[in-house]
Amino acid sequence: MRARPQNLLLLFLLGLTLFRLAMIGQFPLTMDEAYYWAWSQRPDIVYYEQPGMCAWILWLASGFFPHATPFSVRLPAVILGLFSSWILYRAYRAFHDDEAEAAAFVMVISFLPIYFAGGFLYEHDTPLMFFSSLSYYFILKLLKKPTPARWYLVSLALTAALYSKFAAPFLILCFVLFIPLSRTLRPWLRRPHPYLAGLMSTFLFLPVLIWNYRHDWMSVEHVAYLTRTGSMTLTDRFSHFFNYLGSQFFAYSPLLYLTLLAALVLAVRRYRKAREEPILLLLTLSVPILLYFFLQSFRSHVYGNWSAIGYLPALMLTMRISATYLRLPFPAPFCFRRRFLFAGVILACFLSVSPLIQARYHLFSPVMRRLEKALHLDDRLDERLDEELLGWPELAAAVERSRGGTQFILARRYQIASILEFYLPDHPQIYIYSEGRRRSQFDLWTDFNLLQGKTGLFVDVRPIPTDLADQCQSLVPLEKPLKILDQGEVRKRFFIYRCEGFRAHPVD
């Protein structure tokens, strides 16, 4: 007797969850994870970069642990990843009620690099994926059988997504765009429930708007900073575009990304022929978002995860189109052939698992070093892993040894400030001097007036800026720069200074 696909999926998710639990405590926090942990120590409605959902969940989870560890910080990612997978399974069943397809869909996307990493690392995209998945599920159920209650469930799920990340408005706008296009939902525009649901979301989101109003629209300022265009040459524009395109090919696996692009084209053709509303819904929830970020990449730098909210509906369509071709008796287009899809899944697994193995065991280091020499590469192939993970406990230990007689610690970068807050034994407040650099939530927490005349430490990856050094009555470098080695090679340097009699410029 064959096992039901749903039971196989449950076994798969159980095994994957146990694997995640075994691994999440095995390597240091990334800089962003430490930053969000710092948020969680000061719960607020919204922070400089994003709303507060990421911090609230981490704050709740921290209550179950006596001490903060990488395991305790990442546990919510494992739990939310498990729930997200099950919700996506139910969402696919609401889209197309095929148990085997839905189970295969969840298994495949679990090994796409961007979602695989999201099951281990706690980022603001973690709650966004959970609540956007919940939104897709309720929207698909609403399309299948509209009821007043489902309008309000959609509203609540979308509001929770809004509190997770400022990318969520794209999802809301796309859903609003779909309503008048839908034969099923359009008649509801003559009833009060869609409007009341919208008012409910607006009312629930008001605290974020009020916070921004009181803080001079800092979140808007941050988004404007990240998407600033400036003066760019045509070469710069194409450089940004191809960097973004490359990030998408890696995040969703190169071969499967080709299949996804082909599936979107075929889904448009399929809708034009059959007028299937679920197809139109998923196209509307994905294509405008993906097109926007591709166009934006010609204007500014676009991070690879910004468009993630538009890919889950596109991946559902990819699974549906692929499954259709696999069942046909005649040869499918190249991107949908069994061998191509199998190779795409294997490549996705390799791209997902190998960074995790390298981060924990460094098994690929000898091969990478030989490749770097053979290809005459200036940077290491695992440069990003070193940047994110290497040397944090050593830095914290060096700072702790130097803290005697000091009243504060000042960092130049919010990433260093976050790491020190997490890894120092007493988790002290770290202040930041970000003049000339990207602002962060630490700027809101830093009051230089409190540091006047005190003695502190300055920590950064570069020597202390002259304008900051001039504000110290006495400035003493502590020993030599701290060197972080890997295989005998210096990978990072940290500069630590003792500043006595700090004369900070008053801050109003």
Across the range 150-174, mean pLDDT stands at 97
pLDDT score recorded for residue 98: 94
- Do residues 163 and 130 touch, judged by C-beta distance below 8 A? no
Q: Shortest CA distance to 492 belongs to which of 503, 483, 481? A: 483
Q: What confidence tens digit (pLDDT) does each residue in 28-77 have? A: 999 999 999 999 999 999 999 999 999 999 999 999 999 999 999 999 99
Alpha carbon separation from 356 to 147, 221, 351, 352 (Å, rounded): 45, 35, 9, 7
Q: Are strands 431-432 and 456-460 parallel, antiparallel or unpaired?
A: unpaired
Q: Is the pLDDT of residue 220 over 70?
A: yes
Confidence (pLDDT) at 508: 44
Residue 142 has pLDDT above 80, yes or no: yes
Find the mean pLDDT for residues 303-319. 95
Angle, CA 38 vertex, CA 34 and CA 44 arms, to 5°: 140
Q: Is the per-residue pLDDT at 253 higher than 60?
A: yes
Contact predicate 477/484, CB 8 Å = no
d(CA 463, CA 88): 49
CB 37 within 8 A of CB 422: yes
Q: Which tokens hold the place of 235? A: 């070469």
Say which residue the tokens 């679920």 belong to: 278
Number of Cα atoms under 13 Å in the Cβ half of residue 22: 8
**Could you tell me the residue ranges of all domains in the chain?**
5-356, 390-502
Structure confidence at residue 363 (pLDDT): 84
Share of the chain above pLDDT 70, in %: 98
* % the chain with pLDDT above 90: 81
User: What pLDDT is recorded for position 330?
Assistant: 80
Q: In terms of pLDDT, which residue wins out, 224 or 215? A: 215
With a cut of 80, say whether residue 369 has pLDDT above it. Answer: yes
Residue 168 has a CB neighbour count (10 Å cut-off) of 23
Which tens digit of pLDDT belongs to each residue from 104-138? 999 999 999 999 999 999 999 999 999 999 999 99
Predicted confidence at residue 1, as pLDDT, reads 56
List pLDDT tens digits, range 4-41: 999 999 999 999 999 999 999 999 999 999 999 999 99
Quote the CA–CA distance of 249 and 263 in Å, as a whole number.
15
